[in-house]
Amino acid sequence: MAKYKVVHYINQFFAGIGGEEKADHMPEVRQGAVGPGRGLQAALGSDYEIAATVICGDNYFGKAPAITTVDMAKAWMSEGHPFTCDHSEEVCANALKVLEAGRKAGVPIFHTTTGYVGKQQWDLPRWDEKIPMSALDINSEWLEIDPKLKPLPEEPVIHKKYASNFFGTHLAQTLNFLGVDTLIVMGATSCACVRHTVMDSTGYGFKTIVPEGTVGDRVPGVIEWNLFDMEAKFADVVPVDEVVEYLEGIDSNVYTKHERSMDQ
């Protein structure tokens, strides 16, 4: 009798389902070893038993996505600020396509921005030792979500203090309550706040998508490198049109909605 039971994951190709044309294959569980799992079972020996195999397409998107923008405030997306990103007009235009598709489908949208309070800025961590974070006054108009995104009043703006949208915020808990299984991440910058948000999103268990052309930065070359690395390790980097098509098929009834006394 085996001492250890193993759950083995393989993609649609190794399960014999198909290639890229089946990359959207929904997750399924099969009992025992499947495909290359049989060779793995033999290599593991009698102490281990592959009890089940999880099969999922490489690019499977969930049924309940949310969208989060990362620091897409004026300070990053409009000209004239130390944090202004290159090609911000194009970044915002692409992000707006995704946002508008999400709004039409009833997908939850959460914006974030990084800023600090008062003259003393007691809420500013040591990040300012490396870059001029003290230039980000939370009450400044620079910290308003850029109008090129056409933000709506019902779209929450989370004020964060560090890189990730998740660090020290309620975002993960809120997404879990809503029943979200997939997170679409857009914003700035690719090498810091977007990257950390993507890493944390995957760490919290969300399928993570970064639409191409929706990420900004100030340093030439870093967007391409970071998208390459995020695609390799943490997320799916997908053309905007594919993300829009995916959002158009979402049923807003999949989300958990709280019951409020004002709705009675």
Q: Which amino acid is it at 137?
A: D
Specify whether the CB–CB gap between 207 and 60 falls below 8 A: yes
Specify whether the CB–CB gap between 214 and 85 falls below 8 A: no
Q: CA–CA separation, 113 vs 230, rounded Å?
A: 21
> For residue 40, what are its two tokens?
């793995």
- Residue 100: phi and psi, rounded to 5, are -65, -40
Integer-rounded Cα Rg, in Å, for the chain is 21
Q: CA–CA separation, 96 vs 133, rounded Å?
A: 27
Q: Burial of 212 by CB count in 10 Å (0-12 exposed, 13-18 middle, 19+ buried)?
A: middle
Q: Which of 56, 85, 92, 193 is catalytic?
A: 193
Name the helix (H) or strand (E) containing 193.
helix 193-203
| Known catalytic membership, residue 191 | no
Neighbours of 26 (CB within 10 A): 12
Catalytic site positions? 193
